[in-house]
A and B are shown apart, each in its own frame.
Chain A
Amino acid sequence: MISPYPAVTLIVVLIGALTLAGGLVWAERRLLALWQDRYGPNRVGPFGLMQTLADMIKLFFKEDWIPPFADKWVFIMAPAIVMFTVLMSFVVVPFAPGMIISDLNIAVLFFLGMSSLGVYSIVLAGWSSDNKYALLGGMRAAAQMLSYEVFMGLSLMGTVLLAGSFDLVDIVNAQQHLWFVVPQFLGFVLFMIAGIAETRRLPFDLPESESEIVAGFHSEYSGMKFGMFFVGEYIGILLISSMITVLFFGGWQGPVLPGIVWYFIKTFFFLGFFILLRASLPRPRFDQLMDWGWKLMLPLALANLLVTGAVKLAFFR
């Protein structure tokens, strides 16, 4: 089932993702402020809506400086990789019945593959900057993202088992009677935690570590390259929220409103939840983070998969 106008859907999704990421910057600042007993930006436009635009204009005017000691082409390419992988992952997300750019029958694997490629951008950014703090940030990012990707894939396998296919449209359709969050609650929690670690959001933002290692892997980046990392991170959050709604919360299914509206309601709910996480949780130490990933999350993911497979085999032949 491919939409009849794939080129139009492509442009719409591209512009929509970038616009939503810009709106998400505004929403994050306002929501963080709401939960911190203050106002966010409220001067620049009505309710501060033009603040993101003003910030983008400022970033465009910044001096685009590449450190002379940095590895030039890798330095330039690194932010592009993160944008590329995240936007590519949006190709397989179903927004509404029939509204999808490409209905791959291995969509889940494609999504996991793209998120693995995203690790490269951070590591290359940290390495090519030729800066101790950037390197530290890059190393931490590599370790964190690799470890949490392992059980991200495993937590998704439960939904794939229940739906019987890697195709995201089939997974959404299989949730007609019961959203997968109910039988796969543990998988949902694991995928959410892994998603937060993949997009390097608080509480897993050690690679960026605003107060610990200067700016982490993007210390040497300024101007629009930093803007690309920034916007790429927000599109990544958008992607993870979309994947959570598609895989566990029935995607576009809902009683009265059209499918696309339900999709957005659910995605925005999870975006708000990610922002709440940022507002409230402290940052764990790096060894605590790695311990958690390997010693707690991975066994739980394996157990989840084991039980799901056993139940499916025993009862739902």
Chain B
Amino acid sequence: MLSVIRTLWDVFLHAFRKRVTIQYPEQKAYLSARYRGRIILSRDPEGGERCVACYLCAVACPVDCIALQATEDPTGRRYPEFFRINFSRCIFCGYCEEACPTYAIQLTPDLEMGEYNRQNMVYEKEHLLISGPGKYPDYNFWQVAGVKIGGKDKGEAEREAPPADLRNLLP
């Protein structure tokens, strides 16, 4: 019986402690910078789209929520013609971010994506593309890749030596 009285007293003292509830939406929970929330497509520091439509994210996705189609612009730069993520399927695992070679697709600490209509949960490229570089501010894939695109010839990428001239390698 005495343990019962002690329990009652202990629980009663809980009235004088702070409550642990976070009163959403007036207060919001703390989300760290690497929190896996809403997916975005970022741009490189010069303003061009980072995504090269390599399909690696679509292949890595465990629930197949990414759909895209590659195409090339007149300067030879690859980009996605359309890029669609179905957020009602997305499980926010981050595999697409890990698979992306250009740091294009990223997960941000934003989770307020509620909709009444399921069709509104399918985000197109214009909904996913942001104007900044996201979490990786200095990386420009096209500057380190060896591909020839408009404005950069073979041999002019960062840390790349110019191609050897075969006809001058005479003994």
A: residues with CB less than 8 A from B are 33-39, 276-277, 279-281
Asked if A38 and B11 make an inter-chain contact with CB atoms under 8 angstroms apart, the answer reads: no
> Interface of chain B, helix or strand or loop or mixed?
helix
Asked if A37 and B17 make an inter-chain contact with CB atoms under 8 angstroms apart, the answer reads: yes
Does chain A have a CB within 8 A of B170?
no
Could you jot down 5 A-B contacts, CB within 8 Å? A37-B14, A38-B19, A38-B21, A39-B23, A280-B12
**Of B12, B17, B19, the contact of A276 (CB 8 Å cutoff):** B12
A152 to chain B, nearest CB (A): 19
> Interface of chain A, helix or strand or loop or mixed?
helix
Does chain A have a CB within 8 A of B4?
yes
Contact digits for B1-42, partner A, Cβ 8 Å, 1 yes 0 no: 000100110111011011111010000000000000000000
Asked if B8 and A38 make an inter-chain contact with CB atoms under 8 angstroms apart, the answer reads: no
B: residues with CB less than 8 A from A are 4, 7-8, 10-12, 14-15, 17-21, 23
**Of B4, B8, B10, B15, the contact of A34 (CB 8 Å cutoff):** B15
Q: When chains A and B are docked, how far (Å) is the Cα of A39 from the Cα of B17?
A: 12
| Given contact pairs A39-B21, A39-B23, A281 touches B14 in the complex (Cβ within 8 A) | no
Q: When chains A and B are docked, how far (Å) is the Cα of A111 from the Cα of B20?
A: 43
Q: When chains A and B are docked, how far (Å) is the Cα of A198 from the Cα of B13?
A: 28
Additional A-B contacts beyond A37-B20, A280-B7 (18; CB < 8 A): A33-B19, A34-B14, A34-B15, A35-B11, A35-B14, A36-B14, A37-B14, A37-B17, A37-B19, A38-B19, A39-B19, A39-B21, A39-B23, A280-B11, A280-B12, A281-B4, A281-B7, A281-B8
Residues of A contacting B17 with CB < 8 Å?
A: 37
Residues of A contacting B19 with CB < 8 Å?
A: 33-34, 37-39
Q: When chains A and B are docked, how far (Å) is the Cα of A280 from the Cα of B14?
A: 11
Asked if A280 and B8 make an inter-chain contact with CB atoms under 8 angstroms apart, the answer reads: yes
Residues of B contacting A280 with CB < 8 Å?
A: 7-8, 10-12
